[in-house]
Amino acid sequence: MSAIFALANQKGGVAKTTTTGTLAAGLKKQGFSVLTIDCDPQGNLSMSVAAENQDSATMYEVMKGTVSAREAIQHTPSCDIIPANTILAGIEQELHNVGKEMTLREKLRDEQTGVAEEYDYILIDCPPSLGLLTVNALTAADYLLIPTMAETFAASGITQLYDTYKSVKKYTNPALRIDGVLLTRTERTRVTKTIQELTEKIADYMGADVYRTTIRSNVIIKEAQAVQENVFDYIESKAQTKGERVSEASRNFVNDCLNFVKEFVEKEREQ
Ligand SMILES: Nc1ncnc2c1ncn2[C@@H]1O[C@H](COP(=O)(O)OP(=O)(O)OP(=O)(O)O)[C@@H](O)[C@H]1O
């Protein structure tokens, strides 16, 4: 049975997609089988792994029930993925049935066509809202992983997500647990330290852990995303194949990512 994680935060730009892609690639490098699910109509995760999301089956068809989860899977060098595009935004208005919050859970765990038995990890990248797509992801998941930025508004916004988490736990998925809070895009400033402490207080209130590893801001992630590669393959090809110089800051960033993947796996083993 897969361990299913929803990476969610209604705040935009806090690195939900980047964390999903990097974690998936890192887990795959460690020998795990990983499926990612692009639950964000922006389709950025699909783009970042060069998945085909225009003429192929996507999350929209899976949620509508016209295609099974298995049929929508694409294989990429970074991870397997069920892609998404802008059409997915419409699903929030198109699902009317009672129990619509359970749709993704049922699709993934269906005995005949579900894929929850087939992967070590399933990572769901959520949109920046607390609407039906995020509720579906939280209802399908075993764990909520919260990427957040070292920024005051981002830290305080986590409490809104916590309210949604509590509702999901109450009504549709009592077994849901918080995996942890991951601080991303950090800068070496005094205010980062203060926000880190604020985030720890908020996490404490939710009964959640904050990952020891924090992910610094570094341009190498944008470079990797621009050529649709994961950061591990990108830095390797830059240094070895192309013989280009890689800065110490970029190496440190990749080490952050590796440490995060390790901590994630250790934590999951403990849970
Ligand atoms: N550690 C980092 N250093 C520098 N840039 C980063 C880092 N992490 C993410 N970014 C950049 O920040 C932007 C937002 O990241 P990302 O798309 O992952 O966030 P998101 O939370 O998924 O956004 P949305 O809420 O729109 O779905 C992207 O341009 C990405 O390249």
pLDDT digits (tens, 9 = 90+) for 15-51: 999 999 999 999 999 999 999 999 999 999 999 999 9
Task: Give the pTM.
Answer: 0.96
Q: Kindly state the DSSP code that residue 239 receives in the 8-state scheme.
A: I
Q: What does the pLDDT look like over 144-180, one tens digit per residue?
A: 999 999 877 777 789 999 999 999 999 999 999 999 9
Q: Which domain holds residue 79?
A: 3-270
Find the helix or strand (DSSP H, E) in which 137 lies. helix 132-140
Q: What does the pLDDT look like over 73-117, one tens digit per residue?
A: 999 999 999 999 999 999 999 998 889 999 999 999 988 887 998
Whether residue 223 is predicted with pLDDT greater than 80 in this model: the reply is yes
For residue 62, what are the contacts with CB-CB under 8 A and spacing of at least 6? 68, 69, 72, 82, 104, 107
DSSP string, 59-99: HHHHHHTSS-TGGG-EE-SS-EEE---GGGGGHHHH--STT
- CATH code where residue 38 lies: 3.40.50.300
Give residue 231 CA to ligand 1 midpoint distance, Å. Answer: 13
Q: Kindly state the DSSP code that residue 39 receives in the 8-state scheme.
A: -
Which ligand 1 atom minimizes the distance to the CA of 185? 1
Instruction: Tell me what percent of the residues of the chain surpass a pLDDT of 70.
Output: 99
Ligand 1 contact, 222 CB (< 6 A): yes
| pLDDT score for 113 | 81
- 1 band by pLDDT with thresholds 50, 70 and 90: confident
Give residue 222 CA to ligand 1 midpoint distance, Å. Answer: 8
- 139 band by pLDDT with thresholds 50, 70 and 90: very high
Which ligand 1 atom minimizes the distance to the CA of 44? 17
Query: How far, in Å, are 2, 14, 162 from residue 183 at the CA level?
Result: 25, 9, 16
Q: Tell which wins on pLDDT, 125 or 1.
A: 125
* β-bridge pairing 177-184 and 143-149: parallel
> What ipTM does the predicted assembly reach?
0.99
Kindly report the protein residue whose alpha carbon is nearest to atom 8 of ligand 1: 15
Which ligand 1 atom minimizes the distance to the CA of 20? 18
Give residue 111 CA to ligand 1 midpoint distance, Å. Answer: 35
Q: What is the mean pLDDT of residues 213-223?
A: 95
Cβ atoms 256, 214 nearer than 8 A? yes
- The tally of domains found in the chain comes to 1
